[in-house]
Each structure stands twice: as C-alpha cells, then as structure tokens.
C-alpha cells in the first residue's frame, strides 16, 4: 500500500472491530520507516443491550501499548470541547445527526478527560513513561505526538493544530464508511499502491 493515504476497511467477525481506518505516515525526504496509525470502531457484542454496547472509536499509536480513545487523542492535540471535535469530524456535513449519533459513544467515553494535560498524561501512562512524574509524562507525550504521530503532516511543535484537522478527516471517512455513506477502499486498486523503482530499492539496501 502507498504511504500517506487513508484506507478504510470492513472487518468480519470474530474481529473485535467492525471498521478500521489506517495510514502509513512518512515524512517527505525522511529515512525513517513509515509510522502505522490505525483508528477502529468497536464491533457490537452479542447478548448485550444496545444501551450498554460500546461502539466507541479508539486509536492505536506507535510506542503506546494500549488503544487510546479518539476523543482523548483530540484533546491531547488541544482540541478540547465536544463542539470543536464534532466540527473537526463533521466538517463537510455539520447538520448530519446520524454521524453525530455515531460519535456519541466516543464523546461519552472520554468525558472524564477534559484538559490537554490530562489527555497527555493519559496517553503517557500507557507508554514507556509510566514511572515518570506527571510533568515528565506530559512532556513525553507531547514530544511523541509532535515527532512520531502523523509525521507526514508535521514534525514541528506548531504542527499539532494541523494534525487535529487530519485526524478529523480520518474519523470522517471511517464514520461515513460505517454508516454506508461511502464505500470501503479496495486493497487491490493500483492507484493506491506504492511503486518503488530501482533507485529507491538500491537506496534502501544501501541504508
């Protein structure tokens, strides 16, 4: 698959997730390998009432051991209020109630995390910084999001703002696919494949 493209796929049972969006993010002119980032909608569980069925969206970040709720990640990127998060995701259809209802479980899951510092601390506790003090954990998570998270968007401290928009675009595509508003991506479509020529292949071997 090509780098820096969002692809959405439907998962079949017994997968824990019903839909997955993924991207291989690589900064331009960087020798670092692509950073895999995924976003998943939890699948409905049989035998559990609709009210208790958690169909929230979670994300998987490199160097973080546990899934991070989508809304917590938005707040770590300094997008704090529910309204701002919905504006990021529903940017092209702000009045679509079906999409907003689909995002309700994700907003409710993260209602206890309401500041950027709490969100950064939440992320760091699930990484290699568990034993650090709170201040050091916050710095660790901030540097991680600046440099390792979606590096093709930015690797600079002021790139956090841009990353929140790209995260919204990715969530938008995932939710739309889950609601049947758009089709899932085709893994075999050559337009989304990466084609490495001889020079690039020899360069990789040399490195």
Average pLDDT (102-108) is 92
Give the residue among 35, 34, 32 at the shortest CA–CA distance from 207: 32
In a domain? residue 199: no
| CA distance linking residue 159 with residue 164, whole number of Å | 9
| CA distance linking residue 5 with residue 116, whole number of Å | 28
Give the total number of structural domains in the chain. 1
In a domain? residue 207: no
196 contacts: CB under 8 Å, gap ≥ 6? 204
Tell me the pLDDT of the chain averaged across its residues: 89
- Residue 206 tokens, joined: 């040399």
Range of the domain at 133: 7-182
Residue 171 in this model has a pLDDT that exceeds 80: yes
The pLDDT tens digits of the residues spanning 182-192 come to: 999 888 787 77
In a domain? residue 192: no
Average pLDDT (120-132) is 89
What CATH code is carried by the domain that includes residue 122? Answer: 3.90.1110.10
Which DSSP helix (H) or strand (E) runs through 102?
A: helix 97-109
- Residue 181 tokens, joined: 């508003």
In a domain? residue 200: no
In a domain? residue 174: yes
In a domain? residue 190: no
In a domain? residue 149: yes
The pLDDT tens digits of the residues spanning 136-170 come to: 999 999 999 999 999 999 988 888 999 999 999 99
In a domain? residue 198: no
The pLDDT tens digits of the residues spanning 9-51 come to: 998 888 888 999 999 998 887 778 889 999 999 887 765 655 5
Q: For the chain, how big is the Rg over CA atoms in Å?
A: 18
pTM: 0.87
């Amino acid at each position: 698959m090509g780098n820096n493209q969002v692809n959405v796929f439907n998962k079949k049972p017994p997968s824990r997730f019903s839909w997955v969006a993924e991207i291989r993010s690589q900064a331009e002119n960087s020798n670092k390998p692509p950073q895999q980032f995924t976003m998943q909608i939890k699948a409905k569980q049989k035998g559990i009432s609709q009210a208790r069925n958690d169909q929230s969206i979670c994300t998987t970040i490199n160097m973080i051991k546990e899934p991070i709720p989508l809304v917590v990640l938005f707040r770590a990127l300094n997008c704090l209020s529910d309204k701002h998060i919905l504006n990021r995701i529903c940017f092209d259809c702000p009045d679509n109630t079906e999409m907003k209802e689909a995002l309700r479980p994700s907003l409710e899951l993260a209602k206890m995390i309401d500041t950027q510092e709490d969100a950064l601390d939440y992320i760091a506790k699930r990484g290699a910084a568990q034993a650090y003090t709170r201040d050091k954990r916050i710095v660790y998570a901030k540097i991680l999001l600046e440099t390792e998270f979606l590096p093709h968007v930015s690797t600079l401290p002021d790139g956090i703002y841009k990353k929140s928009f790209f995260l919204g675009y990715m969530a938008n595509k995932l939710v739309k696919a889950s609601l049947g508003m758009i089709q899932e991506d085709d893994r075999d479509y050559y337009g989304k494949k990466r084609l490495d020529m001889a020079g690039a292949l020899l360069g990789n071997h040399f490195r």
